[in-house]
Amino acid sequence: MKDYGFLENTIGKLKAYTEHLYQQKFLLATVRNEEALCSYWLKENYWFQLECETTIADLFEFERLRNGNEPKFDFDLKFHITWAREIVKNEGFTFDWKLNVDVHIPFVIPQKTWINFLNKLGLFEYHLFELNNPIQDSPEMVRISSAVKESIDFFYQGGPMGWKNSVSKIRDAMNLLDKLYPLPSRDKDKKQDKDLTRNERWIESYRSLKNLAHLSQHPEDDPDEWSRDEAQVVLTSFLGVWSLRKFLVKKDTPE
């Protein structure tokens, strides 16, 4: 005689955390399997595979709600386990007991893994690009770094107000950076664009970015809501030029 374990009536829900819209959990996929899975190795781990079903529309909606945050999920699983003993080979079982099981599994999928999955679907095109700046000990650089971190937090908060505040914090960071590395005054006789050196063109592009971010703190001049794409461009543009800036102009205070 052998002892068997039956696992049946499996029902599961895959819920995804979102940072947008009050951090609600978004039902991304479901699992349902009423067939009985059977094993007589009761004292060992039993592995089985379940397939989650979702829709393209739900994937698009989750990506909108995820807003670039790390993919975090809860997997709620319910199933029945029945232990049975075979009376005579191939002639029936005696059922000893049944157990209803509820399992809650929180887990995180690495961002790179998630993005590779989405790219393979052919429905999205994502690119990861690392930007970094050396950690600075000076109080001025610490304040700039703090403003940038707040900008990133507001960006992931999302929504028109979050994106506006993200741009506003970049404006604060630029003001602090300008005190440390003052921009040169413009020549009275402005050069033609084609006559500008590369260094001068970098400085002009920085000025343009700062002027754009200025509007986030003066809604009376521009009442329109800020979009995610706009906030992303401002944030990543500043991150890209941050470390380059010190090579464009001289520092106002001694090292």
Residues 228-246 have pLDDT tens digits of 999 999 999 998 888 787 6
Q: Which two tokens stand for residue 56?
A: 């393209």
Kindly state whether residue 206 falls inside one of the protein's structural domains: yes
Domain assignment present for residue 128? The answer is no
In a shared domain, residues 165 and 94:
no
Q: What is the mean pLDDT of residues 24-42?
A: 67
Highest mean pLDDT among 119-123, 154-158, 206-210: 206-210
Per-residue pLDDT band for 35 (boundaries 50, 70, 90) equals: low
Is the separation of the CB atoms in 237 and 209 below 8 Å?
yes
pLDDT at 180: 86
Length of the chain: 255
The answer on 89 and 166 residing in a single domain is no
Q: Would 126 be classed as within a structural domain?
A: no
Which structural domain range is residue 83 located in?
3-111
Domain assignment present for residue 80? The answer is yes
> Band of the pLDDT at 148, cuts 50, 70, 90?
very high
pLDDT > 90 in the chain, percent: 21
- pLDDT at residue 213 greater than cutoff 90: yes
Give the closest residue to 225 by CA, choosing from 216, 234, 233: 216
Q: Is residue 71 part of a domain?
A: yes
Same domain, 159 and 100: no
Residue 145 and residue 91 share a domain: no
Distances (CA, A) of 226 to 18, 46, 126, 229, 235: 20, 52, 22, 8, 13
The H or E element containing residue 37 is strand 37-39
Query: What are the backbone dihedrals phi and psi of residue 26, each rounded to the nearest 5 degrees, phi first?
Result: -105, 125
State residue 217 phi and psi, 5-degree precision: -100, 0
* pTM for the predicted model, two decimal places: 0.67
Is residue 90, in this structure, part of any structural domain at all?
A: yes
Looking at the fold, whether 93 and 181 belong to one and the same domain comes out as no
Nearest to 150 by CA among 175, 168, 136, 138: 168
State the pLDDT at residue 244.
Answer: 80
Of 26-35, 73-82, 174-183, 227-236, least confident by mean pLDDT is 26-35
Please give the full DSSP string across 239-255, using - where no structure is assigned. Answer: HHHHHHHHHHS--SS--
How many domains are contained in the chain?
2
Statement to judge: residues 104 and 161 lie in one domain? no
Residue 40 has pLDDT above 80, yes or no: no
> Do 225 and 166 have their domain in common?
yes
**What average pLDDT is seen over the chain?**
80
Q: What share of the chain is helix, strand, coil (3-state, %, to 5)?
A: 40, 25, 35
Q: Average the pLDDT over 212-234 and give the result.
A: 92
The pLDDT value given to residue 231: 94
Tokens 């592995």 identify what position? 47
Neighbours of 93 (CB within 10 A): 17
Same domain, 98 and 10: yes
Task: Determine phi and psi for 100, rounding to 5 degrees.
Answer: -95, 130
DSSP, res 128: -
User: Is the same domain home to 163 and 240?
Assistant: yes
List, in order, residues 6 or more apart from 128 with CB less than 8 Å away.
111, 112, 115
Q: Is residue 217 part of a domain?
A: yes
Residue 123 inside a domain? The answer is: no
Per-residue confidence (pLDDT) for residue 255, from 0 to 100: 40
- Residues 31 and 101 occupy one common structural domain: yes
My answer on whether 240 and 147 are in the same domain is yes
The tens digit of pLDDT for each residue in 48-84 reads 667 778 888 888 888 888 878 888 888 888 877 776 6
- 12: confidence class by pLDDT, cuts 50, 70, 90: confident
Strand partners, 193: none
For residue 87, is pLDDT > 70?
Answer: no
Could you tell me if 13 and 74 lie in one domain?
yes
